[in-house]
Structure 1
Amino acid sequence: MQMNLYDGAKDKLQQIGVENLTNEELVKAFLICQGLSQELLKLNESFWDAIGDIAGYGILNQLEKETIFNENKNAALSLEAAIELGKRMQTQPIQLIGKVIGSAQIGKMMIARFQKNTQEHLLLLCLDTKNQIKREIIIFKGGLNSAEVHPREIMVEALRVSSNSFILVHNHPSGSIEPSMNDVAFTKKMQKVGELMGIRLIDHLIIGDQSYWSAAEKGVLND
């Protein structure tokens, strides 16, 4: 009976992702996460009996929704909030963080951010067609040694926001801005990967204590 009660919906939600669950499993997972597992079978039946299919939930009034959950207002309101958040995620435009004017602008901004930082970071800036920053994300955070990052870890993040181009930034905790052979090789590799995917690498900056190194300014991207 316990297996029928849970039906693995919550486990599947955690293991394979929300997008891979059926409508029925999503509702079960929601009820379980709300702490309503003891009433799950009864609530699940009343939910589907009342709405017919998932689209029917949207046309119910608030009283009808609360009735489905045996007047458990918290569950009804929680589901409403989750549905509304989902709608907004689909329709809300991505907030632009700022516009990239040039390497010097980014370099100065990143010196202020990473100065004296004892950990190496690799930062990705995703840009649109107007060179406006659509997203920034730390790809790697580690020790004092140079980071080995697979290109797909970077490009998958750029694809999330349909980037037109991207900039890479990483700091040298030593304070030196001199690029290593690995830094230069990695820059050229990411340039080629970007070209193949139609997402141009504009620059790769190394941030030191007081200054920065730019692959674009040094002509590395033109080799």
Structure 2
Amino acid sequence: MAKTSKTKDRPSLADRITAPVHWLRRWTLRLIFLAVVIVLGTVTAHRVFNPPDTLYMKQETARLGKIDHQWVPMDAIAPVMARSVVAAEDANFCLHWGFDMGAIRAAIEDGGARGASTLSQQVVKNVYLWHGRSWLRKALEAAITPAVEAIWSKRRILEVYLNVAEFDEGIFGVEAAARHYFGVGPEALTDHQAARLAAILPAPKERSASRPGDFVRRRAAQIMDGAATIRRDGRAACFED
């Protein structure tokens, strides 16, 4: 009788095979849940508190020795600067939920020759991820962007973008950029100056806002028209008071 009882208590071969699988699945789900909680908690905190220096800023600090960066609130930035960046980088910023499907379709039709990243996606990449092309980064960007759109206001997304964008080698944020190129604070930027700053994105190391070439001049003129258009047709309403 004792031998029979021990035989019944012993795990079957199937149980011994599936037990590690169940354990691995259980811990994988726990880790995914923990990662989601951490991401949502971090994004929620940054709705109020400014993010720390980005990974790219830290890399540039290590490479250059120092960078120029000072955070300024949206109220201390000339409204035309915000409109210029939206006109240049994401004209439908107020109309989408983080992904501009029309721009994505156009990029696919062009064979990837044009970019389709929204300002929201760029903020996620700059603040939470790393530069460079990889499927992992794009997947994480696609997962985090809806959370940022849901938790932050459009105005906050644009404020963070303007404070972390690179405008020249070692020059990060619109405050440093305005003083570096024009010797003024971001609140004093004119229409022309704001358009030129927006025109050097997304290749600030190859272009200059204070010594613009033909491309930057033409691009700045287009951006000035675009900034006036989105103000007139209401596509700036989501981030302006």
Length-normalised TM-score, structure 2: 0.28
Q: Where is the helix percentage greater, Structure 1 or Structure 2? A: 2
Choose between structure 1 and 2: higher strand proportion: 1
